[in-house]
Amino acid sequence: MPITPHGGALVNRLASEAERASLLEESKQLPHIAVDAYAAFDIDGIAKGLFSPLTGFMDAAETERVLDTMTLRPGVPWTIPILLPVSADTAAGIEPGGKIALDDDRGVTVAVMQVNEKFQFDRNHLVQQVYRTTDTNHPGVAYTLSRGDVYLAGPITALEARTVEHEHYNLTPEATRAAFAERGWRRIVAFQTRNPIHRAHEYLTKCALEICDGLLIHPLMGATKSDDIPGDVRMKCYHALLENYYPKEHVMLSIMPVNMRYAGPREAVMHAIIRKNYGCTHFIVGRDHAGVGNYYGSYDAHYIFDEIDPVALGITPLFFEHAFYSRRTNEMATKKTCPGTDADHVFLSGTKVREMLARGEAPPPEFTRPEVAEILIAWAAADRQTA
């Protein structure tokens, strides 16, 4: 039996062709609000069911409950509010009970929203609970505090799905579930990444695949930090690895069009919930999952799952320690499986790799496969020329 979507049913808020024509006509008479790419990705996530059981942007009571209890409602874990912030000036012309049209960052009317509530919230409390800090050097905090301080809540109906680069791989939860069924996979493990897959990641995914039928490599392709490696470069790296180092009959590549919030532990739980909606039964949680800077402990994203009812969560997290290349055993390992001291272990941070690429140096084979290193060096060289 396929895994049940979060909250019991997979949400679909995409308008049918007939509804779309009617809503487009109706939208001409409605107030229009322009949203940025971040909000546009959230609209798309609601519409396609990635955020099931949400049917729209959350209200004040739901927001408070999520922040303080990490539940959307009893028996439904949820850790990050999905909100639509607007400026006070924009909010002044909108009253609960009416509808608005939402225009995305590309200037396209993408949804009609029933406004059920207009509210304000203590944003310092919001960022402290979600990000565990109010430091504006944290990209998630900075973004949240830069938005308007009024929130609109209510269900949305999307007029069209958002298209992204590599749209062929942008499968909806419904389509991903169908693909798993076609392959006969019953136990599927998802791997979240916003980076190219290096040797440590490869080790984690293959360990997880030993106990599952299939692996979903599921890179995040929503809004990320400006210094993250671009999506098209990452996709080239994934293809190189899948072509040369993974068994094709047990691995599938799809993309997840969701924003990176850099919320560490709380985001790790959300990433698991989203993959549950995609039909996955297991989810890899590595070191400093969804972290940024030094805001979270290395394994805080593991510990938070102790606070979540595992039955209500409904997807099995697989926890992995920091993996490295061992000079003693000549293989990838963690301290759980490998003897020796740190002097025997090859660790390379993303920062060090970026510094090597900036100098035109190839990351060592202990860190990444040569096919991936070649792609990254070419990208870094082109990036230096356009800088």
Spatial CA neighbour of 334 closest among 316, 348, 347: 347
Mean pLDDT of 316-320: 97
The active-site residue, picked from 177, 194, 199, 234, is 194
Three-state secondary structure call for residue 194: coil
* 280 touches 189 (CB < 8 A): yes
Active site residue 162: no
Q: Give the residue with greater pLDDT, 61 vs 350.
A: 61
Active site residue 287: no
Domains and CATH numbers, the chain: 6-158 (3.10.400.10), 167-256+260-386 (3.40.50.620)
| pLDDT for position 97 | 97
**Residue 364: strand pairing partners:** none
> Tokens in use for 60?
């004040």
| pLDDT for position 237 | 94
| pLDDT for position 364 | 87
Mean pLDDT of 105-110: 95
Most confident of 264-273, 358-367, 371-380: 264-273
| pLDDT for position 341 | 78
Rounded Cα–Cα distance for residues 24 and 313 (Å): 37
Peptide bond connecting 85 to the previous residue in cis, omega within 30 degrees of 0: no
Helices (H) and strands (E) in the chain, counts: 14, 17
Mean pLDDT of 270-286: 98
> Tokens in use for 359?
């100098």
Q: What is the mean pLDDT of the chain?
A: 93
pTM: 0.94
DSSP 8-state assignment for residue 189: E
- pLDDT exceeds cutoff 90 at 85: yes
Rounded Cα–Cα distance for residues 180 and 44 (Å): 22
- pLDDT exceeds cutoff 90 at 294: yes
Q: How confident is the model at residue 93 (pLDDT cuts 50, 70, 90)?
A: confident
Mean pLDDT of 206-211: 97
- Residues 126-162 pLDDT 10s: 999 999 999 999 999 999 999 999 999 999 999 999 9
Q: How confident is the model at residue 1 (pLDDT cuts 50, 70, 90)?
A: confident
* 369 touches 199 (CB < 8 A): yes
- pLDDT exceeds cutoff 80 at 318: yes
**Residue 215: strand pairing partners:** 189, 251
Q: Give the residue with greater pLDDT, 354 vs 105.
A: 105
Spatial CA neighbour of 254 closest among 218, 297, 278, 223: 218
| pLDDT for position 343 | 81
| pLDDT for position 230 | 85
The active-site residue, picked from 147, 187, 195, 354, is 195
Rounded Cα–Cα distance for residues 280 and 315 (Å): 7
Measured CA distances, 304 to 163, 191, 193, 252 (Å) = 33, 18, 19, 28
CB atoms within 10 A of CB 307: 12
Q: How confident is the model at residue 32 (pLDDT cuts 50, 70, 90)?
A: very high
Q: Give the residue with greater pLDDT, 64 vs 348.
A: 64
Q: Residue 215 corresponds to which amino acid? A: L
Mean pLDDT of 347-370: 81
Percent of the chain exceeding pLDDT 90 equals 80
